[in-house]
Amino acid sequence: MKKAAVALVLILALVLSGCALLFKKATPKTFSKAGMSITLTSDFVEKEHVSFTVVYSSTESAVLVIKEEFSLAQDFEGFDDLTLSEYCQLVIDNNKINAEVKTDNDLTYYENEYTANGKEYKYFCPVLKSDDAFWFFQFYCEKGIYDKHADSFIEWTKSIKFDS
């Protein structure tokens, strides 16, 4: 009888600890790369991608980051003097995106939708400027859960800091 009680307690402990892992709440986690830091959550992992400075992804959303250094835009006189709105419009035009520049929550950004492999995605794309570069961020998730993530995308954008 005593062994059965001990076994039952151990089984309950294992079940409860397993349930705790299922409902584990993500905690803030700061990532740093190429002179930029951003606070996302512990759900994210850093990934390498040839087309981006860095990529952070989780099971429901991702952040694609491009750093456009002023020194690499020598063919574009005055590139470093562009306003955030002008740079954002340049990104929209160069990528032939159907979007408009918005300024809200002290951020300059655009939103757009994209379909790939039969799935619809929605993007929140803020632009920022450091001492040496423009930064283009693409936060995205499936369109059906965008409203669930929109406030987090803004919060994460506001967490961004630059070394220079």
pLDDT tens across 34-87, in order? 999 999 999 999 999 999 999 999 999 999 999 999 998 878 889 999 999 999
Per-residue pLDDT at 74: 77
pLDDT tens across 116-148, in order? 999 999 999 999 999 999 999 999 999 999 999
Per-residue pLDDT at 110: 99
Phi, psi of 16 (to 5 degrees): -65, -40
State which fold the 26-162 domain adopts: Protein Transport Mog1p; Chain A (3.40.1000)
Q: Which residue has the higher pLDDT, 139 or 8?
A: 139
Rounded Cα gap, residues 97 and 111, in angstroms? 10
Q: Which residues contact 90 (CB under 8 A, 6 or more apart)?
A: 82
Which strand (E) or helix (H) includes residue 121?
strand 119-129
